[in-house]
Amino acid sequence: DAGKVQAAINQRMGAAMSHIKQAAGVTVETGGYSVYRETPDKQPPRWHGSQTVNLASKDFAALLGLIGTLQQQGLVIQLLAPDISREARQSVEDALTEEALTRLKQRADRIAMTAGIKLQGIRTLTVGNVNAPPPIIRPVLRMAAADAAAPPVAEPGNATVSITASAEFALARP
C-alpha cells in the first residue's frame, strides 16, 4: 500500500542522508518525492515511489565512492553529469577575455597601420559568455531495489569554456 512505499522511501532516504552528511565536501539537496499507483489490467493495484537527491562536490573521486555506498544501500543512480567548478570556469573566462581583447587591439593596430591611418580608440565593445555554467556535479539518486554494485567508473575529460568579444574601433587619418 501507499503507506508502506512511503515508509520504505523515508527509511532508505534517512539512511542515505546520514552517509551523505558524513561525506566531507559534498553538498546535498533533496529533490522530488513521488508515490503513485499503477493499475494493470485485471491485476491488483501496485504502488511505486521515488525521491531524488542532488549531490555536488569538487572532489569527484570521493563523490564516486559515496555514490557506490549509496548504490549498495539500494539507491539507483539516474544521472551523473560532471563539469568544472564555477570558480575554474570564471578563471578561464577571465583569461580568455583578456586574450580576446589583446588580440582585438592588435588586429585593429595592424589594420590601421596597413591602411595608413591612426587608431583613435574603441568606439564600442561587447564581451559575452556563450556557455552558461551548469552544475558542478549532480548525480540524481532514485530509490529502487538493486543488487549491491561497485561505484561508477568515470574518468576526467575536457570542458569547453568560451567567450565572445567584438569591438568597433574609431580610425582617423594621421
Query: Which residue's C-alpha cell is 559515496?
Result: 66
Q: What pLDDT band is residue 103 in, cutting at 50, 70 and 90?
A: very high
What gap in Å lies between CA 171 and CA 174, rounded to an integer? 9
Q: Which residue has the higher pLDDT, 148 or 73?
A: 73
Q: What pLDDT band is residue 142 in, cutting at 50, 70 and 90?
A: very low
76 pLDDT exceeds 70? Answer: yes
Q: pTM for the whole thing?
A: 0.60
Q: Residue 5: CB partners within 8 Å, gap ≥ 6? A: 35, 47, 48, 49
What gap in Å lies between CA 119 and CA 170, rounded to an integer? 6
Parallel, antiparallel, or unpaired for β 118-129 and 46-57?
A: unpaired
Q: Determine the straight-line distance between the first and last CA of the chain, rounded to whole angstroms.
A: 87
